[in-house]
Amino acid sequence: MTAETAYHGEMGRQFALQATGSAYNAHTDRPAMLRLAGDVSGLRVLDLGCGAGHYAAELLSLRAGQVVGVEGSETLLQAAQERLADRAVLHHHDLEEPLAFLKDQSFDLALMALVYHHINARAQLLAEVRRVLRPGGTLLVSTTHPTSDWTYFGGSYFADERVELPFGDGFALSYWRMTLEKFLGELLGAGFVLEELAEPRATQQARLVDPRRYDKTHRQPHFLAVKLRRP
Ligand SMILES: C[S@@+](CC[C@H](N)C(=O)[O-])C[C@H]1O[C@@H](n2cnc3c(N)ncnc32)[C@H](O)[C@@H]1O
């Protein structure tokens, strides 16, 4: 397996810690995506790139019927296992490969929180998500905001390239910087229908955790989140 963009080892440990209480993950991305999810009670949920299981834990506390997590990093999968015990089914898998172990139309809701931009084989992944979602099911995707990448990396807004963003203590996140047109175009091109788009701002709780980042997300969008329907 070559899950090169999965957060292995110490990088995974640092991400797991950060995702627990950080202004960006815990208080900006997660609340926005969970709001987009709406009422999840009883739903069969697929969490792609589930990381340390923070989403899965929240979805279960919101009474999701069943959560299946897929993750390429053994370190993060282990953290998810510890967080969730036997309350979710977890798979170690590279999202560059088809989801052959999942049955057709077996989920009501799929989510990819801050994962999509890491993947090369995005058309294949979307086709697989479409296959495993039931008709009328929901797909939620969050990603880095194109203008945030543009501000940070500079150059042309229209650059379509892999970039490396410093992360944690000496690590780097490798992902695709893409325009809004490309991001949405890929999702709509895969046959999904856009229902809502959000540019999340940090919640009030983030003010206590990290006032600088709280202010920043209220001046400049950091993430983008979309809710789509599988026809
Ligand atoms: C920013 S983290 C988000 C984790 C989780 N969705 C959350 O929001 O807490 C990105 C996740 O995608 C996973 N990932 C990246 N590339 C992957 C791949 N090719 N296959 C499986 N997982 C991958 C990473 O290991 C990491 O857990």
Q: Is residue 109 domain-resident?
A: yes
Q: Is residue 82 domain-resident?
A: yes
Q: Residue 13, CB half-sphere, CA atoms under 13 Å: how many?
A: 3
What's the confidence (pLDDT) of residue 3?
46
Compute the distance from residue 73 Cα to the ligand 1 centre, in Å: 8
Range of the domain at 152: 9-229
In b/e form, how buried is each residue of 66-104, taking b as 16+ CB within 10 angstroms?
bbbbbbbbebbbbbbeebbeeebebbbbbbbeebeebee
Q: Is residue 1 domain-resident?
A: no
What's the confidence (pLDDT) of residue 1?
35
Residues with CB under 6 A from ligand 1: 3, 5-7, 15, 19, 25, 49-51, 54-55, 71-73, 76, 94-96, 113-115, 118-119
Compute the distance from residue 206 Cα to the ligand 1 centre, in Å: 22
Query: Average pLDDT of the chain?
Result: 96
**Helix runs in 22-61, H state only:** 30-37, 54-61
Q: Is residue 211 domain-resident?
A: yes
Q: Which residue has the tokens 């990381």?
A: 51
Percent of the chain with pLDDT over 90: 98
User: How many distinct structural domains can be found in the chain?
Assistant: 1
Ligand 1 atom 23: the closest Cα is on which residue?
6
Q: Over the stretch 164-222, which tens digit does the pLDDT of each residue have?
A: 999 999 999 999 999 999 999 999 999 999 999 999 999 999 999 999 999 999 999 99
Q: Is residue 26 domain-resident?
A: yes
The dihedral over CA atoms of 71, 72, 75, 77, expressed in degrees to the nearest 10, equals 20
Give me the CATH number covering residue 146.
Answer: 3.40.50.150
Q: Over the stretch 44-93, which tens digit does the pLDDT of each residue have?
A: 999 999 999 999 999 999 999 999 999 999 999 999 999 999 999 999 99
